[in-house]
Structure formats: structure tokens, C-alpha cells
Structure 1
């Protein structure tokens, strides 16, 4: 079985006004057992409760967004940024954040995830019995 893909990434929070934020080290993770998704993990030092925060969204969304498309219509959107950069917009009931990430780093992550589980082969990696049990009983 293919292993987990983990890539540290530096993200910069884009704020309103003239303030520029420092980069924050985050982790992009791809799990073969969750083959349609990517996980973006923020360190607990950034959260009110001190726990790591993880956003989970579509690998296809990240792939298309890193390729220059404006994608997403829900809580996560990916769109082109300034040259060599991609924006990831995160929205929740409590706020929103616009993150800037180096596009090439996203491409490297996507390629590594595709080496792990090729596009179109994702459904073969799912444990359908476990997914059904989770849906029915969780």
C-alpha cells in the first residue's frame, strides 16, 4: 500500500490593508485511504484552543487551482495569485482567511499524491464497507 504524502508548506495570511503577515509553516497531507481529499494542517499556536486546525478539501480542487483556475464555491476556494503564487481562501461561520502559497510547492505536492494514487484510481483505494459503516453509525 502506498504511504502518506506529507509536505511542509509556508503560507502567508493575506490581510486587508497595508499589513503583511509573516509566513506560517503548515503541513499538506495526502492519505491513500482518503483518496479524494487533501488535508491542510495549521499549527496549534495559531488557534484559540492550542489544537492543530485541519481543513480537508478536494484534491481535484487543489490540482485545478494550482494550475491557474478559479475553483470552489463553498468553504474552500483556490485561485490564481500574483506570479508564482496561488491563493487558498478558507471560510467558516466564524471568519475567513486568504492564504498565499508558492504554486510550485503545490504542484510538487499534487504530483507526489498522484504518484501515490493516480487520478481516476481513487475509488479503488476506498474501503467501501468502512465508509458505509461510518455513514450509518457515526
Structure 2
């Protein structure tokens, strides 16, 4: 089986506008690093657009994809809880699992993952600012 992971950095424009482009660049680099840490040792990850990333990972099944999802999102959660940044860095993700006996092109896989990502992004919170303790 092959797992296509489509990840989109949430609210990059808001981060750039409110906190500056250096912070936006930091957010992009951090996202790439977390994706590489989560999936890169098993597969390949790359940035395909301004705030979009794709990873392709050989996968044993749905349970493994859930574990990979948790690993990635836990990294962001930990960073956001412990960083001194005034904003949260989050990603929307979609996972498309292609069974080994299915013939599909990379474009078809990514189209499925992208469609699923669109649904996920509709649920995201557009408020990036942290509520800092006084």
C-alpha cells in the first residue's frame, strides 16, 4: 500500500500579514521539518506550492496511517504549547491510502488527497493568535 499525505499550512497569509514574512518563512520551514520527521524516514516529502506539501509513504494499512497522523499533529500541538511564538502553527492534512493491487497514477492519488484536504480545510480555525497567560 502507498499512503499519499497532503498537508497545507493553515493561515500562512495571516501569519505573514500580522507577524511578518520572516515568521511566515519560519512556519513553512517548521512544517517541512515536522513532515520530514514524521514521514521522511519511511518515504519522501516535498513542498509543492507556497503552503502545500506532499508525502508519499509505503504503508501497511489504515492503522499505520492513523499513527502517522497522530505523530504529525502531536508535533504541532507540542510546539504550540511550548513555543514563545505569539501565534499557533497548524496544518490541515488528508491521507489517501492506495491499496497495493490498485493501478493509479500519482496525479490521481494527489487529486483524491487534495479533494479530501479541501473538506478538512473548511473546518479549520482562522484565528492563529495564542491567548497568552498574563
Q: Could you say which structure has the higher strand fraction?
A: 1
| Greater relative CO, 1 or 2 (CA 8 Å, sep 6+) | 2
- Give the TM-score of the pair, scaled to structure 1: 0.27
The two structures have a TM-score, normalised by structure 2, of 0.27
